[in-house]
């Protein structure tokens, strides 16, 4: 009979190997799923993971990797700080929406003026919007011990309603012939989040994501606050004795993740998406949760996980177009990845041993 024995220390080797195990298992089971849908599994897997990078039209898809990976990495970096400390912000989608509304709103307030300072103001407004939205669960948790998981999630639905209200009301394009949605920021040079290097997909949001990865790495490995965050998550009692201030950790983790999600939303709406519309958000806030875990809550891991997840988005779209694979299958595929990841994580913390059957 197989039994589990807890390792004294989590295994380093397995910590690196398990994400790869999970990806391989997801490919196998995903392939079976695609087969059940009547598609050739090898062709489907190749379309999702290979063609966007090395296929015939890769020159078009490669920049998309950064466009889609940028916001995922940016949000996931923020989330990982909280997850490390056992603070579960799962409402990043809401903070992303509010950041986009605030950022676009700040930009459109200046329309049609052209000035260099408009874009920086939008960036600040986006970050503040996301931060403020995340401060609601943070303050409620600090003041009333309210569960931050439920509050942050409820606020996603509130944010979605606000988004609908904004795109039909306050931010609606006055020259839009009555169609819902704001002015397109692509036609407003001062507010447009253009590619920094043409043709690479590298816009300011991607740059921000890279900077966030570096900052998070330094914070967690070289800074007292980062140490306190890790301590709070791994040994709450020890954290209490070494007088780590839990209030400060909660406010910092939720606030930072909110601000980063808000930034991601702002960069998205000012760049690739272009306008505030009822459904401009595409679930990045939820996918970023998978990215954070897939990256093992480590900044560098999250960087690669974000790119991988972006790949499944792009490959998924290709598979939808070329193979007629339903979009939901990709969503399921991503969910499966998280499942396998959590399951194989067992190997990091436990040793599987063969033993005699115990007495019943």
Partner 1 sequence: MDLSAINPALLLASLLVAATPILIAGIGELVVERAGVLNLGVEGMMITGAICGFMATIITGSPALGFLFAALGGAALSLLFALLTQVALANQVASGLALTLFGLGLSALLGQGYVGLKPPSTPKLDIPLLSDIPFFGTVLFNHDIIVYLGIALVAAVWAVLKFTRVGLVLRAVGENHDAAHALGYKVVRIRVLAIMFGGACAGLGGAYISLIRVPQWTEGMTAGAGWIALALVVFASWKPWRVLLGAWLFGGITVLQLNLQAAGVSIPVEILSMSPYIITIVVLVIMSADKSRAPASLGRIFHASS
Rounded distance, CA 49 to CA 28, Å? 13
Q: Which is nearer to partner 1, 47 or 287 (CB)?
A: 287
Q: Which is nearer to partner 1, 200 or 349 (CB)?
A: 349
Q: Which is nearer to partner 1, 53 or 168 (CB)?
A: 168
| Beta-bridge partners for 203 | 195
Task: Please state the three-class secondary structure of 54-107 as a single string.
Answer: HCCCHHHHHHHHHHHHHHHHHHHHHHHHHHHCCCCCCCHHHHHHHHHHHHHHHH
Candidate residues 73, 266, 290, 314; the one interacting with partner 1 per rule CB under 8 A = 290
DSSP string of 95-138? HHHHHHHHHHHHHHHTTT---TTHHHHHHHHHHHHHHHHHHHHH
Confirm or reject binding of residue 345 to partner 1 (CB under 8 A): yes
Q: What is the CA radius of gyration of the chain?
A: 22
Confirm or reject binding of residue 40 to partner 1 (CB under 8 A): no
Candidate residues 122, 123, 153, 323; the one interacting with partner 1 per rule CB under 8 A = 153
Min dist CB 290 to partner 1, Å, is 7
Structure token pair of residue 65? 């990797």
Q: Which is nearer to partner 1, 73 or 290 (CB)?
A: 290
Candidate residues 28, 58, 109, 150; the one interacting with partner 1 per rule CB under 8 A = 150
Candidate residues 54, 114, 157, 247; the one interacting with partner 1 per rule CB under 8 A = 157
Confirm or reject binding of residue 317 to partner 1 (CB under 8 A): no
What's the half-sphere exposure (Cβ side, CA atoms, 13 Å) at 22?
30
Structure token pair of residue 25? 């298992």
Q: Which is nearer to partner 1, 246 or 326 (CB)?
A: 326
- Using CB under 8 A, which of the segments 204-212, 234-242, 264-272, 343-351 binds partner 1? 343-351
Neighbour tally for 282: CB within 10 Å: 15
Structure token pair of residue 175? 């020259």
Rounded distance, CA 340 to CA 328, Å? 18
Q: How many residues bind partner 1 (CB under 8 A)?
A: 47
| In the block, residue with structure tokens 């195990």 | 21
Q: Which is nearer to partner 1, 40 or 165 (CB)?
A: 165
- Using CB under 8 A, which of the segments 209-217, 236-244, 303-311, 337-345 binds partner 1? 337-345
Rounded distance, CA 195 to CA 349, Å? 43
Q: Please list every residue from 108 through 137 that binds partner 1, using CB under 8 A.
A: 136
Q: Which is nearer to partner 1, 30 or 271 (CB)?
A: 30
**51-57: long-range pairs with CB below 8 Å, 24+:** 51/315, 51/318, 52/311, 52/314, 52/315, 52/318, 53/311
Angstrom CA distances, 31 to 43, 45, 65, 204, stand at 9, 7, 23, 36
Residues near 350 by Cβ (< 8 Å), separated by ≥ 6?
4, 5, 6, 7
Confirm or reject binding of residue 88 to partner 1 (CB under 8 A): yes
Candidate residues 197, 328, 354, 359; the one interacting with partner 1 per rule CB under 8 A = 328
Contact yes or no for 271/66 (Cβ under 8 A): no
Min dist CB 26 to partner 1, Å, is 11
Candidate residues 55, 226, 339, 351; the one interacting with partner 1 per rule CB under 8 A = 339
Confirm or reject binding of residue 332 to partner 1 (CB under 8 A): yes
Min dist CB 176 to partner 1, Å, is 19
Q: Which is nearer to partner 1, 124 or 154 (CB)?
A: 154
Q: Which is nearer to partner 1, 216 or 297 (CB)?
A: 297
Rounded distance, CA 101 to CA 212, Å? 22
Rounded distance, CA 121 to CA 102, Å? 10
Q: Which is nearer to partner 1, 123 or 136 (CB)?
A: 136
Confirm or reject binding of residue 352 to partner 1 (CB under 8 A): no
Q: Which residues bind partner 1 (CB under 8 A)?
A: 4, 6, 88, 90, 136, 140, 144-147, 149-151, 153-158, 161-162, 164-165, 169, 286, 289-290, 293, 326-336, 338-339, 342-343, 345-346, 349-350
């Amino acid at each position: 009979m197989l039994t589990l024995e807890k390792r004294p220390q989590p295994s380093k080797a397995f910590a690196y190997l398990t994400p790869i195990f999970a990806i391989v298992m997801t490919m196998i089971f995903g392939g079976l799923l695609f087969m059940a849908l009547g598609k050739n599994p090898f062709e489907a897997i190749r379309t999702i993971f290979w063609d966007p990078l090395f296929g015939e039209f890769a020159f078009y898809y490669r920049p998309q990797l950064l466009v889609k990976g940028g916001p995922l990495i940016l949000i996931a970096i923020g989330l990982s700080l909280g997850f490390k400390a056992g603070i579960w912000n799962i409402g990043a989608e809401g903070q992303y929406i509010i950041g986009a509304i605030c950022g676009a709103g700040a930009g459109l307030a200046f329309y049609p003026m052209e000035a260099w300072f408009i874009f920086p103001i939008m960036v600040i407004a986006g970050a503040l919007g996301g931060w403020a939205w995340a401060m609601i669960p943070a303050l409620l948790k600090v003041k009333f011990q309210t569960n931050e998981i439920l509050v942050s999630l409820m606020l996603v639905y509130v944010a979605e309603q606000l988004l609908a209200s904004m795109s039909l009301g306050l931010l609606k394009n006055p020259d839009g012939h009555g169609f819902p949605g704001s002015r397109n920021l692509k036609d407003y040079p001062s507010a447009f989040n253009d590619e920094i290097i043409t043709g690479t997909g590298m816009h300011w949001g991607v740059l921000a994501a890279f900077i966030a990865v570096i900052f998070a790495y330094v914070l967690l490995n070289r800074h007292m606050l980062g140490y306190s965050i890790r301590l709070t998550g791994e040994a709450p009692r020890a954290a209490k004795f070494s007088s780590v201030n839990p209030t400060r950790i909660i406010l910092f983790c939720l606030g930072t993740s909110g601000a980063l999600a808000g930034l991601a939303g702002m960069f998205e709406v000012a760049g690739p998406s272009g306008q505030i519309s009822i459904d401009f958000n595409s679930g990045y806030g939820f996918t970023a949760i998978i990215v954070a875990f897939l990256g093992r809550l480590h900044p560098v891991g999250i960087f690669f996980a974000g790119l991988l997840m972006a790949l499944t988005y792009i490959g998924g779209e290709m598979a939808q177009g070329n193979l007629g694979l339903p979009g939901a299958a990709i969503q399921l595929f991503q969910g499966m990845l998280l499942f396998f990841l959590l399951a194989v994580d067992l190997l990091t913390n436990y040793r599987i041993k063969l033993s005699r059957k115990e007495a019943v």
